[in-house]
């Protein structure tokens, strides 16, 4: 765990001038319901396929981000985005009519943090002024693609997580007000030999701990009021907590996981939420609210991704994972 990842402070820390998140019906019944911009009561959102619905989540979230910032497409230098669907079609089809330059990224469920890393480096360096960073996921399109047809009604294992239906994103700008992205750590791939695709929290936890330990070699855990991992869920959060304790850091009192927070225990979501959208909607709503309301001064946001595919799992492979971190402060 000791090898150092790419960790840097950012010059001219970019401002998060706007954020937006839209979720599906189940997420809208969860404990974070007050923090979302829009709750859609139909997984299809009046489209004829789940994939088109997910693209609509992306499109509408993007429109909300720029509307809330009171700017238009011509002010956006670039969009940085990606998603879980094969060939990232939620992003590509959702944004195809915007006529804005686009960099596609892929970090599985770490994509929100990854997009913010790329976007914040661009704004920080002065090469860009306004970058939108965003991602999405959709319970139905993800189940169909990664697991079983929903119509089978398969029972899920206790360690399984529920892919969040939702999209979230932020506008990063060189000028403005509000929270700023001030530090980053780009994760490396960590593969501890977990091969159970129904226990992704356990697969991703070592990657999260590796990124945290690497970040803490440069910046103290004491700097942070809260540390949020992306979607380790209940099982993975505890593993990560143990691993990072083994590295000599006790963060238990300030450590939360977006996947653990997004559903209540009554919602029958097993080990919690997952999917690119999970950490994206918690970031764009709850986490930024904490900073804006003065309930926290500095938060470390650690997106966590499992870099598997159905093909790799069928070929008996383990699950390589990765975690990317950004520090957000007021």
The two structure tokens encoding residue 76? 């956006």
Do 103 and 61 touch, CB atoms closer than 8 A?
no
Binder of a second copy out of 125, 154, 157, 220 (CB under 8 A) = 125
Establish if 192 lies at the interface with a second copy (CB under 8 A). no
246 contacts: CB under 8 Å, gap ≥ 6: none
Residue of 325, 330, 322 whose CA lies nearest to 109: 322
CA distance 259 to 25: 16
For residues 145 to 174, the per-residue mask of contacts with a second copy, x marking binding by CB under 8 A and - elsewhere, is x-----------------------------
CA-based torsion, 273, 277, 279, 284: positive or negative: negative
Q: Which of 38, 39, 71, 89 binds a second copy (CB under 8 A)?
A: 89
Closest CB 289 distance from a second copy, rounded Å = 28
Min separation Cβ 32 and a second copy, Å? 27
Residue owning tokens 């590796």? 210
In angstroms, rounded to a whole number, what is the distance separating the alpha carbons of residues 121 and 219?
18
> Which SS3 state, helix, strand or coil, does residue 59 take?
helix
Q: Tell which one of 21, 58, 95, 204 touches a second copy (CB under 8 A).
A: 95
> Which token pair is 171?
């506008």
Q: Is 100 in the site for a second copy (CB under 8 A)?
A: yes
Site for a second copy in 290-319 (CB under 8 A): 307-312, 315, 317
Minimum distance of a second copy from residue 265's CB (angstroms): 30
Cβ atoms of 202 and 296 closer than 8 Å: no
Counting contacts by CB under 8 A, is residue 121 touching a second copy? yes
In terms of DSSP bridges, do strands 298-306 and 226-229 run parallel, antiparallel, or are they unpaired? parallel
Cβ of residue 197: shortest distance to a second copy, in angstroms?
12
- Residue 287 vs 308, nearer CB to a second copy: 308
**Pairing relation of β-strands 15-23 and 166-173?**
antiparallel
* Residue 105 or 290 with smaller CB distance to a second copy: 105
> Contact region for a second copy (CB under 8 A) — 76-84, 160-168, 252-260, 281-289?
76-84
Within 13 Å, how many C-alpha atoms sit on residue 239's CB side? 21
Q: Which two tokens stand for residue 139?
A: 């319970």
d(CA 88, CA 111): 11
Stretch that binds a second copy, among 111-119, 218-226, 235-243, 251-259 (CB under 8 A): 111-119
Cα(244)–Cα(240) distance, rounded to whole angstroms?
6
Does the protein bind a second copy through residue 44 (CB under 8 A)? no
Q: Which of 20, 40, 69, 122 lies at the binding interface for a second copy (CB under 8 A)?
A: 122
Residue 153 CB, nearest approach to a second copy (Å) = 22
Q: Which two tokens stand for residue 29?
A: 């019944």
Under the binding rule (CB under 8 A), the answer on residue 72 touching a second copy is: no
Q: In DSSP terms, which residues pair with 255 in a beta bridge? A: 227
Among 29, 75, 98, 247, binds a second copy (CB under 8 A): 98
Interface with a second copy (CB under 8 A), residue total 60
Check residue 262 for interaction with a second copy (CB under 8 A). Answer: no
* 187 lies in the site for a second copy, by CB under 8 A: yes
Residues near a second copy (CB under 8 A): 3, 5-6, 8, 49, 51-52, 74, 77-78, 82, 84-89, 92-93, 95-108, 114, 117-118, 121-122, 124-128, 145, 185-189, 191, 307-312, 315, 317, 320, 322
């Amino acid at each position: 765990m000791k090898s150092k990842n790419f960790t840097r402070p950012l010059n001219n820390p970019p401002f998060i001038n706007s954020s937006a998140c839209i979720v599906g019906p189940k997420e809208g019944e969860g404990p974070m319901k007050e923090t979302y911009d829009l709750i859609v009561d139909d997984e299809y959102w009046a489209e004829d396929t789940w994939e088109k619905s997910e693209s609509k989540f992306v499109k509408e979230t993007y429109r909300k981000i720029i509307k809330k910032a009171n700017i238009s497409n011509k002010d956006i230098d670039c969009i940085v985005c990606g998603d879980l669907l094969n060939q990232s079609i939620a992003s590509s089809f959702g944004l195809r009519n915007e006529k804005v330059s686009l960099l596609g990224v892929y970090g599985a469920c770490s994509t929100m943090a990854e997009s913010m890393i790329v976007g914040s480096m661009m704004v920080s360096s002065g090469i860009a002024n306004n970058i939108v960073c965003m991602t999405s996921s959709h319970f139905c399109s993800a189940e169909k693609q990664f697991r079983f047809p929903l119509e089978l009604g398969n029972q899920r294992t206790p360690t399984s997580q529920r892919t969040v239906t939702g999209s979230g994103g932020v506008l990063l700008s060189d000028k403005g007000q509000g929270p700023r992205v001030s530090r980053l750590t780009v994760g490396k791939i960590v593969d501890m030999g977990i091969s159970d695709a129904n226990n992704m929290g356990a697969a991703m936890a070592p990657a999260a701990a590796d990124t945290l330990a690497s970040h803490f070699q440069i910046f103290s855990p004491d700097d942070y009021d809260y540390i949020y991992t992306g979607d380790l869920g209940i099982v993975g959060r505890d593993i990560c907590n143990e691993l990072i304790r083994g590295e000599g850091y006790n963060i238990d009192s300030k450590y939360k996981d977006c996947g653990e927070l997004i559903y209540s225990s009554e919602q029958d979501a097993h080990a919690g939420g997952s999917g690119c959208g999970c950490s994206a909607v918690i970031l764009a709503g709850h986490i930024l609210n904490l900073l804006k309301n003065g309930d926290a001064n500095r938060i470390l946001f650690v997106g966590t991704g499992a870099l598997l595919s159905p093909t790799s799992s069928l070929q008996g492979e383990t699950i390589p994972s990765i975690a990317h971190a950004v520090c957000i402060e007021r």
